[in-house]
Amino acid sequence: MLAQEMIDAMSKRGLRVTDQRRTLARLFAEAPGYLSAKDVYDEMGKTYGGLSFDTVYRNLRVLQEMDVLEQFVFEDGVKFKAHCREHGHHHHAICLHCEKTYAVPFCPLDIQVELPQGFSVVKHKFELFGYCEACGPQAEAGGAGR
């Protein structure tokens, strides 16, 4: 997702588009991979001296709830990435070495899943972690995982 698309999405959803949020959009649009809240805080702190970690984290959560950013849980913590361009319900396969992300149209909830009586699913996440063809087994053998 391009920075301007992220800014337009914020504006359409009624979120005030501040200089900090414009910078945040550019940061994610230009990031080659995933960013943690600390990554964002460290990078934005170079420009905005009085920035608090709470402000960064709150903005990440708001943008994630608005589907501007996607949240992923890696072994070393929660990270964010600009929402992919894939439309419709889908999941992801993520390379642990290069962080390339592939859309996966399969959903495990498409098959019959036994849930407790009265349980209503409102959202779910399903990611596959491994190594892409380019990184292959040598990445796993080299301990490059997260």
48-93 pLDDT, tens digit each? 988 999 999 999 999 988 888 988 888 888 999 887 766 677 888 9
Residue range(s) in the chain whose domain bears CATH number 1.10.10.10? 3-82
Residues of the chain with CATH 3.30.1490: 91-141
Query: What is this structure's pTM?
Result: 0.74
Query: What gap in Å lies between CA 124 and CA 131, rounded to an integer?
Result: 23
CATH topology of domain 91-141: Dna Ligase; domain 1 (3.30.1490)
Is 132 labeled as ligand-binding?
A: yes
**107 appears as a binding residue in the annotation:** no
Residue 124, annotated as binding a ligand:
yes
83 is in an annotated binding site: no
Q: How confident is the model at residue 19 (pLDDT cuts 50, 70, 90)?
A: very high
**CB contact at 8 A, 99 and 139:** no
3-82: CATH class: mainly alpha
CA distance linking residue 36 with residue 38, whole number of Å: 5
